[in-house]
Amino acid sequence: MISHIRKYFPSLTEEQIARFETLMKAYPEWNDKINVISRKDIDNLEVNHILHSLAIARLIQFAPGSRVLDFGAGGGFPSLPLAVLFPDVQFHLVDRVGKKLRVAEDVARQAGLTNVTVQHGDIGECRDKFDFVVSRAVMPLPDLVRLSSKNISEKQVNAMPNGFITLKGGELQGEIAATPGTTELFDIARWFSDEDFFKTKKVTYTFL
């Protein structure tokens, strides 16, 4: 049921496999009620959404005890797949669309994810500190960094400096040039080389 995920992450535990399979079951059920994922794309859930989210895990192995903020989390991507992979990391989802957060909250419950919390509202209302902010195609990178830099903790627990990790596509040089700090760009196709979907997909990593 999750052949692509198991191909690229062969060391998953049985519990993690079961949780990914729950995501594969729960999202289509919810999508029949609320359009969380494009109805044309729900059949590509494993690769285009779950595996796409897990590209972040190719960039960084979050240290146990890390705290990660998902800015504009919507229905739970990229944070819920990452929460399955990193059970000792706390993921906090923030979004202005309450109905999508309700989906994420219920899917997390069904999957038994106790390391996920949600906050309905604007990013300006979130005052907590995190090691990383992650996001999936929510807004231009300069705006994301400007709005959420207050949420980056000064305490360092990971090998990589605390910062911002986003999943994006297309031409990004203009965004990167306008973003403060240092931004590194990674081709997802280098990690998931057999999947055509990732030919134009990128991970950005920014630290101040």
Check residue 148 and give its pLDDT. Answer: 98
Distance (Å, whole) CA 96 – CA 89 = 23
Q: Which one, of 30, 24, 17, lies nearest residue 43 by Cα?
A: 24
Distance (Å, whole) CA 116 – CA 83 = 7
- CB neighbour list of residue 17: distance below 8 Å, 6 or more residues apart: 2, 6
Residues (pLDDT < 50) of the chain are: none
Interhelix angle 98-110/14-31, nearest 10 degrees: 140
* Phi and psi, residue 96, nearest 5°: -85, -15
Check residue 137 and give its pLDDT. Answer: 86
Check residue 1 and give its pLDDT. Answer: 84
Distance (Å, whole) CA 6 – CA 187 = 20
